[in-house]
Chains A and B, each alone.
Chain A
Amino acid sequence: MKILLIEDDAETAAYVANGLREQGHVVDHAAEGRDGLFLATESPYDVMIVDRMLPGLDGLTLVKTVRGTGVKTPILFLTTCSGIEERVEGLEAGGDDYLIKPFAFSELVARVQALSRRPPLAEVTTQLKVADLELDLLARTAARAGRDLDLKPLEFKLLEYLVRNTNRVVTRTMLLEKVWEFHFDPQTNVVETNISRLRAKVDRGFGCDLIHTVRGAGYMLHVQS
């Protein structure tokens, strides 16, 4: 993957760039807003990672400008501001996701992965299907191997998110934000508990497991061949 990183803090930039390169990605780095804007509009990237506080040109204006030129590349904001206001501002400016510093590297990778393979927005689906698991998005029901799964609304939402990110790691924080819309860190193991409940309904008694735990990173729905 070709990734553009616009980040002024040298240490964070090196940490992120080296990490991504180790994973086999190509990373271009700009330490300043104007340089970043030049790179972003000149050459195509798969994902851009943009710090909100930049010298020269701030991240918010940069993203607005990039979007104004018609570039559709997914953008991940990095920020030290944790307020919801800032998050909303970032998304309204044209960012696709938002990550608060300091972050775990696995979290960044998971989010970059999720962004890079985003389906086109216009695609409207009423059904999702992975192996023998079927989700009816209109009736909000799920069935596996033809057998209906008795899912609560939130369990369905959780499963839908996992299915939409099949073969990709989703972190605990991503699940909290996207499924529960929790923008804080709960003091109980609410994600783990709900995943294990979902597992009991989706995987128990079906031979092969779909929901897997990725140690130190999060969860992944994938089909073992």
Chain B
Amino acid sequence: MFKARLFRNASFRLAALYAILFAISASLLFGIIYWIASKALLQQTHDALARESSALADDFQSGGMDELVRSIAERLTAPELPPTYALLLDASGRKLAGNLDRKDKILGFIRLPRPPRAGREADHDEDNEHEVIAFGRELPEGAYLLVGEDGDRIDEAKEAILRAFGWGMATVLVLSVGGGILISIGFLKRIDAINRTTRAIMAGNLEDRVPTQATNDELDQLAANLNAMLDRIQVLMDSLRQVSSDIAHDLRMPLARLRQRLEGGKLRSMSEPEYQHILDAAIEDTDNILSIFSALLGITQIESGTRRKAFIPVDLAEILTTLAETYGAVAEDRGQTIVTKIPPGATVRGDRALLTQMFANLLENAIRHCPEGTQITLYVSRKCDFVLASVSDNGPGIPKEEWTNVFKRFYRLDRSRSTSGSGLGLALVKAVADLHGATLELSEAKPGLQVCLKFPVSREGCKAIDHAT
């Protein structure tokens, strides 16, 4: 499997391609060197033969035929010289000296088959292949001199060049293929690590992450991006899991209560009005469950952000004034007061219905969870590049460590468990604030709690406001 993949992978193929290209160019280079070297060697041999031939001709000039014959015999037996060939014919074609047998008198350079030599029978085949390079010339009085040298020397040199070339090529190929394999294995190992991680995640192990090295190369960047993506997915999955388990948990209770009520009604024999009472209570329970569902759906819809496209200018001052008037009587009945600090004109872009619901939730929260005598303050103010709105009370407040928790779905403070409510009101507040890009902050009102919302608005008209304040 791994082997098959090795040859398919990109870096190995690249390495192999480079190896082939290098081999071709090296072959060309070696070919040229080989050709030039062969020519040079042949030239060298020719020069040497011509020199030898002239030297022998000189011997003939100075010492006559006898001297020449002796000189030839001397050269042929000299052990330190390479195997040399010679032939001396007189004018009638009779052989006077030498170790070649030929009758014709060819002048210039010729190639002859190598004659068999004593003690070299075993090399018979090889001898047939080799040639003698010879140089023939005429001497005065019609004599003919042929001197030759074994072609072996050239062949050996050529062979040496070829051998060097062969070894060189072999080394290059081994290095490039081996290097390619090594690089590819490294590459494949990292790809495998990524594949292993993705498979592990698909198998359900969401905490797994792609290992990264400190190299910060492309693969590392890819791994880092994959990990960032996985982190995001995990956060989403966790929140989804949280919501699902919250729903399951928080709907069980009211459903169980409903069932109990219905079962209780079935077990005891009761009067008509009693049954009526149980049915009314059951309908109320069902309505509560349904309202939890629609609140959840609402939050989900708000979080999807599609409402943003229908944003229009909304005057928060107007919304808060209306709310103060609407809830004034409710607060009064509970011995609480609503105070407003609302100068006109605090317009933000938003969804009127959602903003109304958000502030109503905050106001109702204050009314429901604060004791008699509490003063609730609604405040809004246009600053330079933001609109600040707040709902604060001088009630008991909530512990600081709970501040981040209260905006979670279904989260309820221990002391509010006894009062009715779904635990979704503040989650909706958070969702609406997020939809409007508003920052939501809790702070100590000393005593009590202040919920502050900061809506970003354009800086248009900044100066006028600065001057006014």
Which A residues fall within an 8 A CB radius of B? 82-85, 88, 100, 102, 104, 152-154, 180-190, 193-194, 196-197
Q: From A82, A88, A154, A188, give the contact of B322 (CB < 8 A).
A: A154
Whether A85 pairs with B306 at a CB distance below 8 angstroms is yes
Complex contact B420–A187 (CB within 8 A): yes
B46 interface residue per 8 A CB criterion: no
* Interchain CB contact under 8 A, A84 and B364: no
What chain A residues lie within 8 Å of B38 (beta carbons)? none
Contacts of B352 in A (CB 8 A): 181
Contact status B330-A190, CB under 8 Å: yes
Q: List B310-355 residues whose CB lies under 8 Å from chain A.
A: 310, 322, 325-327, 329-330, 333, 351-354
Task: Assess the A185–B326 pair: CB atoms within 8 A.
Answer: no
Contacts of A193 in B (CB 8 A): 329-330, 333
Q: Which partner residue on chain B sits nearest A187 by CB separation?
A: B364
Known: A85-B307, A193-B333. A184 touches B360 (CB 8 A): yes
Q: Is the CB of B425 within 8 A of A187?
A: yes
Q: Which of B301, B327, B329, B357 interacts with A183 by CB under 8 Å?
A: B357
| CA–CA, A196 and B307, complex, Å | 36
Evaluate contact between B367 and A152: CB separation under 8 angstroms: no
Q: Out of B297, B310, B356, which one reaches A85, CB within 8 Å?
A: B310
Known: A185-B291, A188-B367. A84 touches B326 (CB 8 A): no
Instruction: Please measure, in the bound complex, the distance between the C-alpha atom of A83 and the C-alpha atom of B420, giving whole angstroms.
Output: 25
A181 to B306, CA, bound (A): 21
Report chain B residues within 8 Å CB of A182. Answer: 356-357, 360
Assuming the contacts A187-B421, A187-B425, asked whether A83 and B364 have C-beta atoms less than 8 A apart, the reply is: no
> Does chain A have a CB within 8 A of B82?
no
Cα A138 to Cα B377 with chains together (Å) = 32
With contacts A82-B297, A102-B290 known, is A181 near B353, CB below 8 A? yes
Tell me the complex Cα distance, A34–B290, Å. 31
In chain A, what residue has the closest Cβ to B288? A185
A/B interface sample: 24 pairs, CB < 8 A: A84-B310, A85-B307, A85-B310, A104-B283, A153-B325, A181-B352, A181-B356, A182-B357, A183-B357, A184-B357, A186-B360, A187-B364, A187-B368, A187-B425, A188-B364, A188-B367, A188-B368, A189-B330, A190-B326, A190-B327, A193-B329, A194-B330, A196-B329, A197-B329
Please report the C-alpha to C-alpha distance between residue A102 and residue B289 in the assembled complex, in whole angstroms: 11
- Sorted nearest first, the 10 A-B pairs with minimum C-beta distance are A193-B329, A184-B357, A193-B330, A197-B329, A187-B364, A84-B353, A183-B353, A188-B330, A188-B364, A154-B325
CA–CA, A154 to B306, complex, Å?
31
C-alpha spacing A194/B297, complex, angstroms = 29
Q: A129 vs B116: C-alpha distance in the bound complex, in angstroms?
A: 147
Contact B327 A83 (CB under 8 A): no
B298 CB–A CB distance under 8 Å: yes
Report B205 CB to chain A, min CB distance, Å.
Answer: 38
Closest Cβ of chain B to A68, distance in Å, is: 25
User: B263 CB to closest chain A CB, in angstroms?
Assistant: 23
Query: A residues within 8 A CB of B333?
Result: 193
B245 on the A face (CB < 8 A): no
Judged by a CB distance under 8 angstroms, whether B439 is at the interface is no
B216 contacts partner chain A, Cβ-Cβ < 8 Å: no
Complex: chain B residue closest to A185, CB-CB: B291
Additional 5 contacts, C-beta under 8 A, given A102-B290, A187-B420: A84-B307, A84-B354, A154-B322, A188-B364, A190-B330
Report if A82-B356 is in contact (Cβ < 8 Å); known contacts: A188-B364, A193-B329, A197-B329. Answer: no
- Do A194 and B329 have beta carbons less than 8 Å apart? yes
Closest residue on chain A to residue B306 by CB atoms? A85
Quick one: which of B366-383 are within 8 Å of A by CB? 367-368
Select the residue from A84, A180, A184, A193 with max chain B CB neighbours within 10 A: A184
In the complex, whether B294 has a CB less than 8 A from a CB of chain A is yes
| CB of B330, distance to nearest CB on chain A (Å) | 5
B254-271 residues at the A interface, CB under 8 angstroms: none
B302: nearest residue on chain A (CB-CB)? A83
The residue on A at minimum CB distance from B286 is: A102
CA distance A185 to B290 in the complex (A): 11
Contact check, B301 vs A83: say whether CB atoms are below 8 A apart: yes
Q: How far is the CB of B336 from chain A (nearest CB, A)?
A: 11
Contact of A188 among B291, B307, B327, B353 (CB under 8 A): B327
Give the distance to chain A from B362, nearest Cβ to Cβ, in Å: 11
Query: Which residue of chain A has the shortest Cβ distance to B294 in the bound complex?
Result: A82
A153 surroundings in chain B (CB, below 8 A): 325
A180 to B361, CA, bound (A): 14
Name the residue of chain A whose CB is nearest to the CB of B333. A193
Chain B residue, CB-CB nearest to A102:
B290
Residue interface bits B49-85, CB-to-A below 8 A is 1, else 0: 0000000000000000000000000000000000000
B353, A180: Cβ atoms under 8 Å?
no
Given known contacts A82-B297, A187-B421, A188-B368, is B326 in contact with A194 (CB within 8 Å)?
yes
Chain A nearest CB, measured from B186 CB (Å): 54
